Copies of this chain bind each other. A is one copy, B any other.
Amino acid sequence: MCRWAAYRGMPIPLEQIVSAPGHSLIEQSHHATEAKTATNGDGFGIAWYGEHPEPGRYRDVLPAWSDCNLKSLARQIRSPLFLAHVRASTGGATSRDNCHPFVNGKWSFMHNGQIAGFEKIRRPMEAALCDRLYQARQGTTDSELLFLLALEFGLETDPAAAFAQAIRFALSEAARAGVRELVRFTAAFSDGETLHAIRYSNDAQAPTLYSAPTCNNQGHCLVSEPFKDTDTKWHEIPAGSFVTLTAGGISSARFDPAQTDAVKVAEVA
């Protein structure tokens, strides 16, 4: 289980989310309180949008708490939309290529959760990719593969449907392989304009997700765990949600991959 935070709004220095608050993401890399594991020390990464369509990215294999580069970058880089992640591996080596966020063209993606028995269904999942996305694989994680499958299944045109199909695909391949059918999936992703998040599990333990207006209402923050500052009003996103952050604000819809049309009645949060 990992921890992550994402932001969309007026441009702010990354450190306001990554390292400054009382219970920042870096703090959570040491002492997560709502995760299965308190320590998230198997690497980290940030992806942020600036002048280019594709995001910048910095990933490394050290624990976030001891990386002096991350501290300096988070202080200097200002962005209106960014993702930050600290990793606790559920499998896969501690290498840069296995660190989130994953990036493909203009898209960025990060994930907290897991696919049970991933090794048994990795093969059909990879087989479902077109040649271009097959060649785009860099690491060995279930997370990267769910992201590539979503790209395969139409992330560009319908993000909720694409991830719903990717999750359905993993569950059906797990059934076929005779392993436990379990996908826990709390993720954030963006094309540089809109920031999306999903909180989902097909059991009762969807990894937590919270949202709050932040930085004097200049933007919104989505996080695995609330920061410890007392001023921010955190709102827990219920399991089975698809969250959308645009210039117009935050909205949430029901997310249920078991339904072919994954996203139901949209409702403004």
Interface residues of A (CB under 8 A from B): 13, 30, 38-39, 41-42, 48, 50-52, 56-63, 66-69, 72-73, 75-78, 89, 93-97, 119, 122-123, 126-127, 131, 134-135, 137-138, 140
The distance from the CB of A70 to the nearest CB of chain B, in whole angstroms, is 9
CA distance A97 to B138 in the complex (A): 11
Q: Tell me what chain A mostly uses at the interface: helix, strand, loop, or mixed.
A: mixed
Check if A63 sits within 8 Å of B76, measured CB to CB.
no
Counting every copy of the chain, the complex holds 4
The distance from the CB of A53 to the nearest CB of chain B, in whole angstroms, is 12
Check if A62 sits within 8 Å of B62, measured CB to CB.
yes
CA distance A52 to B59 in the complex (A): 23
Contact (A59, B69) CB under 8 Å given A76-B48, A78-B51: yes
Check if B123 sits within 8 Å of A131, measured CB to CB.
yes
Check if A69 sits within 8 Å of B41, measured CB to CB.
no
CA distance A89 to B66 in the complex (A): 9
CA distance A63 to B41 in the complex (A): 8
Could you write out 10 A-B pairs with CB less than 8 Å apart? A41-B63, A42-B66, A59-B69, A62-B94, A66-B89, A66-B94, A69-B96, A95-B96, A119-B135, A122-B135
CB neighbours (8 Å) of A134 from chain B are: 122-123
Q: A129 — nearest CB in chain B belongs to which residue?
A: B123
Contact (A56, B76) CB under 8 Å given A61-B62, A97-B95: yes
Contact (A138, B93) CB under 8 Å given A38-B38, A61-B62, A69-B59: yes
CB neighbours (8 Å) of A122 from chain B are: 134-135
Check if A52 sits within 8 Å of B66, measured CB to CB.
no
Partner of A41, one of B39, B75, B126, B140: B39
The distance from the CB of A39 to the nearest CB of chain B, in whole angstroms, is 5
CB neighbours (8 Å) of A57 from chain B are: 69, 72
Check if A68 sits within 8 Å of B96, measured CB to CB.
yes
The distance from the CB of A106 to the nearest CB of chain B, in whole angstroms, is 13
Contact (A58, B30) CB under 8 Å given A66-B42, A97-B93: no
